[in-house]
Structure 1
Amino acid sequence: MAVELNSLSAVDLVRAYRARSLSPVEVIEASLTRLGTVDTALNAFCLVDEAAGRRMASESEARWRRGEPLGPLDGVPVAVKDTNHVTGWPMRFGSRTMPDTPSQFDTPGVARLREAGAVFFCKTTTPEYGWKGITHGPLTGITRNPWNPAKTPGGSSGGAAVAVATGVAPLATGGDGGGSIRIPASFTGLFGLKATFGLVPNFAHSLGTLGVFGGLTRTVADSALMLTVIGRPDGRDAFAVPFRDVDYADGLDRGVEGLRIAYARDLGFPDVDGEVAAAVAAGVGALSRAGAAVSAVSLDLSGLRRVMGVIWRSGYAGALRHLTGSQLQMLEPELLELVVQAGRISAADLQWAQDECRALSNRMQAFHGEHDLLVTPTMPITAFDAGIDTPDRQAFPEWFDWTPFTWPFNLSRQPAASVPCGFTTAGLPVGLQLVGPAFREDLVLRASRVVERDLPQKTLAWG
């Protein structure tokens, strides 16, 4: 029974709670049992609070018995990334420089999940301050990919991806400042959506408009449900857009007939693995068969690499400016070097980079005047060996270089999602990226659902 429970989606769980055929108490026990097995093998969790999980599940069970659920996620287990505050739990950012002190408040997205009745029971691993697209660091060590433990799950929401892929929880929170939701989604065969900046309230960050709160799920429908919840307003974010009361599950199965979809094979970054390209082409074929007008386009965004480097380095220098000299020495050496490099960036350089972001947003707005959606690979490669920052220092000097399809759409602030589209002969997942105009998450979700239906994925056997 536990194996069956671990395979259920959030939508399935809520349906079963409503029918009183399943209890949140049963589900949290299955989650806790699976977590123990997974963590031993893959090292994806940095905090486990069994008592809190059982208490919240018991309270949810009582509400369902009364017919008074708090919201659409009442009783659903959610794994929380360690870049998010949860009241009563420490938030370490994956760093030895952060104190083991309980938070006094929830991050806005976490608060919305709590209000909807979600059950919190664990926090997931992240690289130090979420600075790179893989998940290993000095505080928690190496997190591993459930499809092949010798490989990385990606990052920085790597622990979150492992939690969902292995069935510990159907939902996990993440953050995406350069691909940190979409990278692990692609590497672990999950669905991951980065919403338009400002749609989901969040705390301010030195990365400015790059960072977005979101989550990882096994199904598109679960992601639509999660976005509906976390997109609700929070007065602590002065830069959030006015609240749009949208149920993103509405129209999810409307399909893509008549939509104009552009297919860019490489965005000007030519090093796309052949098996990745073939899997993405299969996903594009699914969209075409569903009635979309698909056209191949040449879209070169490779000139933005320097822009990303300037903003990323400056942002992290700003985020870590509170650290003392001794604390800086506690950082992962590569992160410390990033901060040191930021000292050579001038104010004029930073202003130029920000101007380029605005120009990109305008360019993509014009692009979407002709194309409803854009399709690219999520990643040019599949998961590589765990514990290293790049699979090839010559081809990919920094993590930005092996993630060239994700971070451009943080710079432009657009919604972008990774949806599974196949596997390599080595059994590693491949993701297809769908990018939409600002605030058209509905189109991204609809197209993702088409790919999901047409290309059924393997089920990960775990535990």
Structure 2
Amino acid sequence: MSADVPSSLNELSAQELSAAYRDRRLSPVEVTQAVIAQIERWEPKLQATWLFRPEAALEQARASEARWQRGDALGPLDGVPATIKENIATRGDPMPAGTAAVDLKPAAADAPPAARLKEAGAVIVSKTTMPDYGMLSSGLSSFHTLARNPWDLSKTPGGSSAGAGAAAAAGYGPLHIGTDIGGSLRLPASWCGIFTLKPSLGRIPIDPPYMGRAAGPMTRSVGDAALMMQVLAKPDARDSMSLPAQDIDWESFDVSPDHLRGLRIGLLLDAGCGLAVEPEIQAAVEHAARLFEKAGAIVEPMQPFMSQAMLDGMDHLWRMRSLVDMKALRPDQRAKVLPYIREWAESAAEFSGEHVFRGFSQFHATRVATVQACARFDYVISPVSPNMPAAAEAPSPTNDPLRPLEHIGFTVPFNMSEQPASSVNCGYSASGLPIGLQIAGQRFDDLGVLRVSRAFEQIREPQRPWPAAH
């Protein structure tokens, strides 16, 4: 091994690995072996993986090594270790969606994000865990073992992309992919100190598509997320909500802090609903805003545009959707659903048709209010979450199924408005836990959000070392 390559190969970025493969300084096999060893060190405590298959990963790595040696690598992700969230179908594998209530059947085909990673030659090391039906911001599941946060094992990694967030922070290779319908990429990214991009709706094709649902990269750096976007944003006809194919120069994400000069940035410190922002989080986001100003951006405070009625309306529609799903289950299946989820869904049983319609109407009201509030800004910065991560065993920060979404007031509006939004670490609590800054852009400006996130990476304070397995 070359002297300029660190011994902890699992810590290298996808950008570094691609360059090292090209120059024959590293092999995908030795890198995959390092990632497998790191997973085996962490997993007894972290429980971030499902279908962890070391031998299958090494077989993929050997095929990649042969391609690099022949000079016909499939692209920059060839041989780079990756994980895929459990609810993104991979051919031949069952998809429990985090719940013990589902009959396990092999998926007939790879969902679009999985297909794109495989076509690019990425080494799929494992799938990652999630809570029941993806409806919790935690790693609590009736099917998977409880996932934990590598920064503090007593805390949740967030959710629903729980295992993916934990895996990225713990060094299970550089590339991870999750999904987000109200904050499920950004919340674990914030609480695990990593980077993510929830793209514009339809930028990354998914199957099945759904209102507000997006897949996105979860990485330690903006650069690796941009590298993933080159692959994940390719078209796929199975997504009826996908955007038209567009030739976006994702490689041009790497701007200097001068890029921020003159940008109009909205600073949102009050979501207008849900939990109050904890003082440590507010201080970290205000500090980030001052860094933007020092770099030449024009930062203006924003008034809240969400309301509790909007948040509650979305919650009530989702309760009814879940109740309908649960009614389709056999009684023995229904009994296996996490009690918190069951209580949440069953609370919709007495909702009238008018009540559900009014709840559904709040999705559009949220969209209109979000677009209008953001219209006069190039980008909007805010906390990702108003609270630090809850206990690992808690299904939600309130631990109350009748107040389940009080922590998504900053994230969910951008799902409904279809705007891109990232989470990038902007500081640490007194106890050493990471704090995420959300950067949202105008609809379709995914590359712009990556560029602003990259500029912020360069102006923030040096980051603390990633947590180590003990």
User: What is the TM-score normalised by the length of structure 1?
Assistant: 0.94
Which residue number in structure 2 is paired with residue 16 of structure 1? 20
1:211 aligns with 2:213: yes
Which residue number in structure 1 is paired with residue 390 of structure 2? 384
* Counterpart-to-counterpart distance in 1, 2:26 and 2:106: 33
Bigger shift: residues 25-34 or 313-322: 313-322
Instruction: Say which of 50, 53, 57 aligns to 1:49.
Output: 53
- Could you tell me which runs of 5 or more consecutive residues in structure 2 were left unpaired when the two chains were aligned: none
Which residue number in structure 1 is paired with residue 438 of structure 2? 433
Q: Is the 8 A contact 2:305 2:370 kept in 1?
A: no
1:353-364, aligned counterparts within 5 Å? 353-364=359-370
Q: Is the 8 A contact 2:371 2:417 kept in 1?
A: no
Q: 1:358 to 1:403 in 2, by over 3 A?
A: closer
* Secondary structure of 1:142's aligned partner: coil
Q: 1:155 to 1:90 in 2, by over 3 A?
A: same
1:3-39 CA distances to partner (integer Å, 9 max, x unpaired)? 5212111111111111111111011100110111111
Instruction: Say which of 297, 300, 304 aligns to 1:295.
Output: 300
Aligned length: 460
* Counterpart-to-counterpart distance in 1, 2:380 and 2:313: 21
Deviating above 2 A after TM superposition, structure 1's stretches of 4 or more consecutive aligned residues are: 1-4, 97-104, 314-322, 341-369, 389-394, 396-399
Tell me the amino acid that sits aligned with residue 90 of structure 1.
P
Deviation at 1:392, TM superposition (A): 4.3
Q: 1:119 to 1:376 in 2, by over 3 A?
A: same
1:189 aligns with 2:193: yes
Instruction: Say which of 291, 296, 302 aligns to 1:286.
Output: 291
1:407 aligns with 2:412: yes
Q: Is the 8 A contact 1:313 1:338 kept in 2?
A: yes
Bigger shift: residues 97-106 or 163-172: 97-106
1:125-145 CA distances to partner (integer Å, 9 max, x unpaired)? 111111111111222231111
* Counterpart-to-counterpart distance in 1, 2:412 and 2:395: 17
Instruction: Say which of 224, 239, 242 aligns to 2:244.
Output: 242
Instruction: Say which of 24, 28, 35 aligns to 2:32.
Output: 28
Instruction: Say which of 128, 135, 139 aligns to 2:132.
Output: 128
1:41-440, aligned counterparts within 5 Å? 41-204=45-208, 208-253=210-255, 255-269=259-273, 271-303=276-308, 304-392=310-398, 398-440=403-445
Q: 1:163 to 1:251 in 2, by over 3 A?
A: closer
Q: Is the 8 A contact 2:421 2:440 kept in 1?
A: yes
Tell me the amino acid that sits aligned with residue 445 of structure 2.
R
Q: 1:350 to 1:413 in 2, by over 3 A?
A: farther
Which residue number in structure 2 is paired with residue 447 of structure 1? 452
Tell me the amino acid that sits aligned with residue 297 of structure 2.
A
1:261-292 CA distances to partner (integer Å, 9 max, x unpaired)? 00011122461111111111121122222221
Deviation at 1:446, TM superposition (A): 1.4
Q: 1:422 to 1:3 in 2, by over 3 A?
A: farther
* Counterpart-to-counterpart distance in 1, 2:405 and 2:243: 29
% of aligned pairs identical? 37
1:90-144 CA distances to partner (integer Å, 9 max, x unpaired)? 2221221223433221111111111111111211111111111111122223111
Tell me the amino acid that sits aligned with residue 462 of structure 1.
A
Q: 1:309 to 1:266 in 2, by over 3 A?
A: same
* Counterpart-to-counterpart distance in 2, 1:147 and 1:164: 12
Deviation at 1:197, TM superposition (A): 1.1
* Counterpart-to-counterpart distance in 2, 1:408 and 1:74: 36
Q: Is the 8 A contact 2:305 2:373 kept in 1?
A: no
Q: Is the 8 A contact 1:290 1:450 kept in 2?
A: no
Q: Is the 8 A contact 1:89 1:101 kept in 2?
A: yes
Which residue number in structure 2 is paired with residue 457 of structure 1? 463
Q: Give the superposed CA RMSD.
A: 1.9
* Counterpart-to-counterpart distance in 1, 2:122 and 2:324: 33
Tell me the amino acid that sits aligned with residue 307 of structure 2.
S
Tell me the amino acid that sits aligned with residue 241 of structure 1.
L
* Counterpart-to-counterpart distance in 2, 1:21 and 1:138: 44
Deviation at 1:422, TM superposition (A): 0.6
Q: Is the 8 A contact 1:2 1:30 kept in 2?
A: no
Tell me the amino acid that sits aligned with residue 58 of structure 1.
R
* Counterpart-to-counterpart distance in 1, 2:100 and 2:375: 47
- Could you tell me which runs of 5 or more consecutive residues in structure 1 were left unpaired when the two chains were aligned: none
Q: Is the 8 A contact 2:151 2:467 kept in 1?
A: no
Q: 1:76 to 1:129 in 2, by over 3 A?
A: same
Q: 1:384 to 1:360 in 2, by over 3 A?
A: closer
Bigger shift: residues 321-330 or 372-381: 321-330
Deviation at 1:215, TM superposition (A): 2.4
1:378-421 CA distances to partner (integer Å, 9 max, x unpaired)? 11111221101244458x96331123211222222221111100
* Counterpart-to-counterpart distance in 2, 1:136 and 1:352: 30
Tell me the amino acid that sits aligned with residue 294 of structure 2.
R
* Counterpart-to-counterpart distance in 2, 1:216 and 1:29: 21
Tell me the amino acid that sits aligned with residue 222 of structure 1.
D
Q: Is the 8 A contact 1:256 1:446 kept in 2?
A: no
Tell me the amino acid that sits aligned with residue 412 of structure 1.
S
